[in-house]
Amino acid sequence: MKNLVILGSGTAGTIMANQLTKKLSEEWSITLVDQYKTHYYQPGFLFIPFGTYKPEDVKKTIDEFLPKRVQLIREKIDRIDKDLNTVFLENDQVISYDILIIATGCKTAPEEVLGMKDEYWYKSIFDFYTFEGSCALAKKLETWESGKLVVHITEMPIKCPVAPLEFAFLADDYFTKKGMRDKVEISYVTPLSGAFTKEKSTKTLEYLLKEKNIKIVPDFAVEHIEAANGKMFEYGGESVDFDLLVTIPTNMGDECILRSGFGDDLNYVPTDKNTLQSKVKENIFVIGDATNVPASKAGSVAHFQAEILTENILNYIAGKPLQPDFDGHANCFIETGKGKALLIDFNYDTEPLRGKFPFAVVGPLNLLEESAFNHFGKMAFKWVYWNMLLPARKLPFITPKMSKAGKIFEEEEV
């Protein structure tokens, strides 16, 4: 019996467990290791502060999504010994593997910025990238009456790069509906030179920020925060004032990667961006947020990666060459408030473009254009996530590689 071990039961790890159960022969045992009992629908964290979702809407048990064939070990991972092909757990248990898939994700690290996580944490400084943070922020917004709201990104990369923008747009809508938008000054503070990482979509998103009277503060690399004074300072000495700070802290890979001695400065695993084989050792593969590949850290990416990684693991077992098929494909809906959303679809080489998705001409979804239909797509994704994505069921009409069909390229624009 040979053993394939998956570390992490988040989106990527769960999809891989379901994919491989269907593909691997009985010669292989599949073991999944994760210390937690709850699986969270993380895109739902964005909606909890505004009352769209309740906390119970975004969580289920991990066990209900795993096939019976998968052995679940609920224990914290201490480290990986790549030379011995073993994983050490905190309870001193040792697991041997023939193939290892690292799907340990990434986590927020507010302690990385001086003054961020102090006595004002969850009082005037909040995150919404954690379940606890989004729930605490929901309570805060219920009673907050006025002031300067700052939506802030500490540094890149982060999970779901568009979520901070979505929060700013939804905050505008939320305070407008409460009849207090004129009492709230919203600023969007980012270390990037624009609203997003891609030039074409940045123009559209910055237009929306201006339209909604949201001030953008670009190129702001935070150095420390003085929460008692309501100030955030960058390395050059400039500051931004706030009454309520909604921050996306530094995102880092799991500490078990640090203890294993092969992560980068943020504990992400060096990974071939096209095959998803690690650069650590040939029998170690990486997927989702745990990788250092220059793709978006989003659920759609993990789904696209999973289809390609499954085939490459089968190729590896069969002694065949790995196929460099992952092109960085990502797509996501961007909530813009007032019952509308944008949709973007891109990869390593192609920026988000205007057009139709998933079919040319007929769509029915529009790319880089606000619509109520896109908003319905965003809200329907929760059902798709629980019932299609995690069980690794084929999503109709959506391919792992980005399709050029329906997109308007520069030479076609007049």
Report yes or no on 323 lying in a domain.
Answer: no
- Note down the domain range covering 336: 330-412
CA distance 81 to 100: 11
Q: Does residue 244 share a domain with residue 156?
A: yes
Q: What percent of the chain shows pLDDT beyond 70?
A: 98
Smallest CA-to-CA distance from 302 within 70, 47, 9 is with: 9
For 118-132, what is the mean pLDDT?
Answer: 98
Report yes or no on 218 lying in a domain.
Answer: yes
Report yes or no on 358 lying in a domain.
Answer: yes
- Which residue is listed with tokens 């790549």? 82
Report yes or no on 392 lying in a domain.
Answer: yes
For 111-133, what is the mean pLDDT?
Answer: 98
The pLDDT tens digits for 306-365 are 999 999 999 999 999 999 999 999 999 999 999 999 999 999 999 999 999 998 888 899
pLDDT, residue 413, reads: 47
For 287-291, what is the mean pLDDT?
Answer: 98
Report yes or no on 268 lying in a domain.
Answer: yes
For 186-192, what is the mean pLDDT?
Answer: 97
Residue ending a domain, among 198, 218, 250, is 250
16 falls in which pLDDT band (50, 70, 90)? very high
For 160-175, what is the mean pLDDT?
Answer: 96
Q: Does residue 75 share a domain with residue 8?
A: yes
Q: Does residue 135 share a domain with residue 69?
A: no
Report yes or no on 278 lying in a domain.
Answer: yes
Q: Does residue 130 share a domain with residue 37?
A: no
Q: Does residue 161 share a domain with residue 97?
A: no
CA distance 24 to 321: 18
For 2-30, what is the mean pLDDT?
Answer: 97
Smallest CA-to-CA distance from 300 within 15, 35, 6 is with: 15
Q: Is the pLDDT of residue 196 over 90?
A: no
pLDDT, residue 412, reads: 46
Smallest CA-to-CA distance from 151 within 120, 177, 130, 128 is with: 128
For 101-105, what is the mean pLDDT?
Answer: 98
Beta strands in 311-354 (DSSP E): 330-337, 340-346
Structural domain count of the chain:
3
Q: Does residue 149 share a domain with residue 41?
A: no
- Find the Cα–Cα–Cα–Cα dihedral 377, 138, 247, 58, rounded to 10°: -40
pLDDT, residue 231, reads: 98
pLDDT, residue 204, reads: 85
For 207-214, what is the mean pLDDT?
Answer: 95
Q: Does residue 57 share a domain with residue 25?
A: yes
Residue ending a domain, among 250, 270, 305, is 250
Q: Does residue 232 share a domain with residue 276?
A: no
Q: Is the pLDDT of residue 410 over 80?
A: no
Q: Does residue 404 share a domain with residue 348?
A: yes
